[in-house]
């Protein structure tokens, strides 16, 4: 246990892997569709399932603004934990494989390619040097491949720009991608896809984008929340008999008040060969023999602002799941720095766009971890 700058105790909000986390949802959906797997969440049987994935819609944030989302607020039910880091590519891989991050290996946004001395951005799927093969980086069979083998049509309704990207190939292998740009297109795409035995994922990213730019709770964020609310209601009203819609998210969000800029703190760069992760969870890949000194320096500099631990402590504490596969260990920083409260660790020169944001996520706080699991059935 550590103490925050406010004087309150700060304890990592470790995801409920195996009980109530995003990693438990895919298997439960498989079971509900009669395609095997363990129904950990005890979902009711269904002929068709729609998963409405709202990027950045934290459960705690939704509860603060019921007036902006009356339909969704009226369906409030269970809460799941996202997983660590509470970030989009990690959660998409979790939903795509039904496994915790320690199993699927997508343990951050900006990760080291072990043994190669370079960083890989798995959100944009870019890295200096040769390309990273999605099938190599995330080799596990996806839930969508398992559904197709069981006779269920797996469909992904999302912008056409997502088709064929590295991230899509890594986490959505096996889906039938229906390109849909507008809200109307997505509602119609879901309606058409739910015509047979199917599992349809529909994605909306406006809430997350508004939160990053203007902060959650801002006018722009509330407008996007209202769009999502109406979209969910329209999908619910179009559900054919024997269908169920689940609404969830990949993570929540916090608004940063204080930013620690690594590019203006030379002592925080000393001994760090590669600075990975993101503003709310930093992977520090250290020079040979420098890990103990880096850990000590960062822990002192971020006292009251962040949990700073070794790779071994992060793994042993279950942050990435019950276990981490040996081949993925090198993707985790030698030192892991995870801000809490309203702090963010930015790099204004290396990452100017990210450093200018207001809303962030990735950490082990309730606001970032808690995501809704809302259910609307047409029985």
Stated pTM of the model: 0.96
For residue 21, give the DSSP letter.
B
**DSSP conformation letters of 33-85:** TTS-S--TT-PPP-SEEEEEEETT--HHHHHH-GGG-HHHHTT--EEEE--SS
pLDDT in tens, the chain (379 residues): 455 554 444 899 999 999 999 999 999 999 999 998 899 999 999 999 999 999 999 999 999 999 999 999 999 889 999 999 999 999 999 999 999 999 999 999 999 999 999 999 999 999 999 999 999 999 999 999 999 999 999 999 999 999 999 999 999 999 999 999 999 999 999 999 999 899 999 999 999 999 999 999 999 999 999 999 999 999 999 999 999 999 999 999 999 999 999 999 999 999 999 999 999 999 999 999 999 999 999 999 999 999 999 999 999 999 999 999 999 999 999 999 999 989 999 999 999 999 999 999 999 999 999 999 999 999 7
Residue ranges of E strands in the chain: 2-3, 9-10, 48-54, 78-81, 110-113, 118-121, 153-158, 176-179, 198-204, 243-249, 254-255, 258-261, 272-275, 282-286, 306-310, 335-339, 343-346, 359-360, 370-378
243-249 and 370-378 as β-strands: parallel, antiparallel, unpaired? antiparallel
Distance CA 314, CA 337 (A): 10
The three-class DSSP label of residue 202 is: strand
CB of 285 closer than 8 Å to CB of 272: yes
Q: Which two tokens stand for residue 104?
A: 């699927």
Separation CA 269–CA 271 (nearest Å): 6
Helix pair angle (88-97, 25-32), 10° resolution: 30
């Amino acid at each position: 246990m550590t103490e925050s700058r406010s004087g309150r105790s700060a304890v990592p909000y470790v995801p409920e892997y195996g009980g109530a986390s995003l990693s438990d949802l895919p298997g439960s959906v498989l079971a509900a569709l009669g395609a095997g797997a363990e129904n950990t969440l005890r979902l009711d049987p269904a002929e068709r399932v729609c998963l409405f994935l709202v990027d950045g819609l934290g459960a705690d944030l939704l509860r603060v603004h019921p007036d902006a989302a009356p339909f969704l607020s009226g369906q409030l039910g269970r809460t799941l934990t996202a997983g660590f880091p509470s970030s989009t590519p990690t959660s998409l891989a979790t939903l795509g494989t039904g496994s915790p991050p320690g199993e699927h290996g997508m343990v951050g946004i900006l990760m080291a390619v072990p043994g190669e001395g370079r960083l890989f951005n798995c959100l944009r799927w870019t890295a200096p040097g040769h390309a990273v093969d999605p099938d190599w980086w995330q080799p596990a069979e996806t839930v969508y491949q398992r559904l197709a083998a069981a006779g269920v049509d797996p469909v992904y309704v999302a912008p056409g720009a997502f088709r064929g990207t590295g991230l899509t190939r890594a986490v959505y292998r096996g889906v039938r991608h229906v390109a849909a740009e507008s809200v109307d297109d997505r509602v119609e795409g879901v309606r058409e896809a739910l015509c047979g035995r199917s599992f349809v994922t529909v994605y909306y990213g406006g809430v997350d984008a508004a939160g990053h730019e203007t902060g959650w709770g801002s006018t722009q964020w509330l407008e996007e929340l209202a769009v999502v609310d109406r979209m969910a209601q329209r999908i619910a009203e179009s559900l054919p008999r024997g269908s169920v819609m689940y609404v969830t998210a990949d993570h929540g969000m916090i608004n940063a008040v204080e930013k620690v800029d690594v590019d203006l703190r030379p002592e925080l760069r000393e001994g760090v060969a590669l600075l990975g992760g993101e503003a709310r969870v930093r992977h520090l890949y250290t020079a040979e023999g420098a890990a103990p000194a880096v850990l000590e320096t960062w822990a002192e500099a971020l006292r009251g602002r962040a949990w700073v631990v070794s790779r071994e402590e992060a793994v042993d504490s279950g942050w990435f799941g019950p276990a981490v596969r040996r081949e993925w260990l090198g993707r985790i920083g030698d030192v892991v720095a995870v801000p809490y409260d309203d702090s963010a660790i930015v790099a204004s020169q290396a990452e100017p766009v990210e450093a200018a944001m207001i809303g962030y996520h990735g950490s082990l706080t309730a606001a970032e971890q808690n995501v809704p699991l809302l259910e609307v059935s047409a029985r």
